[in-house]
C-alpha cells in the first residue's frame, strides 16, 4: 500500500531534515522534492548528486540513482568511484548500488530472502545515505 502523495512528501521531508542534521559536514545539501530526495556531496574532488526515489516509500525501499546538475540520471561511467555494483541490475536494467535498504538491493535475485519488511521499521533514509557516503569514502 502506498502513501497519499501529501503524506509521502511530508515523510520524505522529515527524513531529509534528519539526514541533514545527522550528516552535517559529510553532505553539501539534502533536499526533499515531492516523491524523492536529492543528496549533494563532495568526493574525489567533485560534486556528486544522488537521487533517492521514494515514490512508493516506505512500502518499498528507496531507489538510488546518480544524477547530473539538471537532475537527469547518468550512466555508470559518471558514478562516484566505489558506488556502483558490477553491471546493470538484472531487474531494473540500470547501474545500481548493493546496499541494504535500497530498492535495487532488495529486488536483486540473490537477496530475495533478505526482504525489505525485515528493515522497514528501523532502516531509515539517513541510515541509507550514510552507508552510500561510506561506499565513496565520505
Question: What does the pLDDT look like over 30-63, one tens digit per residue?
Answer: 999 999 999 999 999 999 999 999 999 989 999 9
Residue 22 has pLDDT above 70, yes or no: yes
| Inter-CA distances, 42 with 7, 9, 113, Å | 31, 26, 34
Supply the pLDDT for residue 131: 97
Residue 44, φ and ψ in degrees, nearest 5: 55, 40
Q: How confident is the model at residue 3 (pLDDT cuts 50, 70, 90)?
A: confident
What pLDDT does residue 1 have?
A: 59
Eight-class DSSP state of 111: G
The single-letter DSSP state of residue 2 is: P
- Residue 111 has a pLDDT of 93
Those residues with Cβ within 8 angstroms of residue 4's Cβ, 6 or more apart along the chain or in another chain: none
Q: Which residues, at least 6 apart from 10, have a Cβ–Cβ distance to it below 8 Å?
A: none
CA distances from 56 to 12, 52, 85 (A): 11, 11, 23
Give me 136's grid cell: 565513496
The domain locations on the chain are 5-135
Comparing CA positions, the residue from 98, 88, 95, 38 lying closest to residue 68 is 38
Give the max Cα distance, the chain: 41
Distance CA 75, CA 85 (A): 13
- pLDDT tens per residue across span 86-138: 889 998 999 999 999 999 999 999 998 999 999 998 999 999 999 999 999 99
d(CA 40, CA 138): 12
Q: What is the pLDDT of residue 86?
A: 84
Global pTM reads 0.93
Predicted confidence band at 2 (pLDDT cuts at 50, 70, 90)? Answer: confident
Amino acid at each position: 500500500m502506498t502513501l497519499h502523495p501529501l503524506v509521502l512528501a511530508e515523510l520524505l521531508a522529515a527524513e531529509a531534515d534528519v539526514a541533514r542534521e545527522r550528516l552535517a559536514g559529510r553532505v553539501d545539501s539534502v533536499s526533499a522534492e515531492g516523491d524523492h530526495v536529492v543528496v549533494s556531496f563532495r568526493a574525489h574532488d567533485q560534486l556528486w548528486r544522488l537521487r533517492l526515489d521514494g515514490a512508493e516509500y516506505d512500502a518499498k525501499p528507496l531507489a538510488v540513482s546518480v544524477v547530473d546538475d539538471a537532475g537527469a540520471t547518468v550512466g555508470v561511467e559518471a558514478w562516484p568511484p566505489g558506488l556502483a555494483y558490477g553491471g546493470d541490475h538484472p531487474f531494473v536494467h540500470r547501474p545500481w548500488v548493493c546496499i541494504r535498504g535500497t530498492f535495487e538491493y532488495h529486488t536483486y535475485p540473490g537477496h530475495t530472502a533478505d526482504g525489505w519488511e525485515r528493515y522497514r521499521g528501523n532502516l531509515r533514509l539517513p541510515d541509507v545515505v550514510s552507508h552510500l557516503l561510506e561506499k565513496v569514502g565520505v
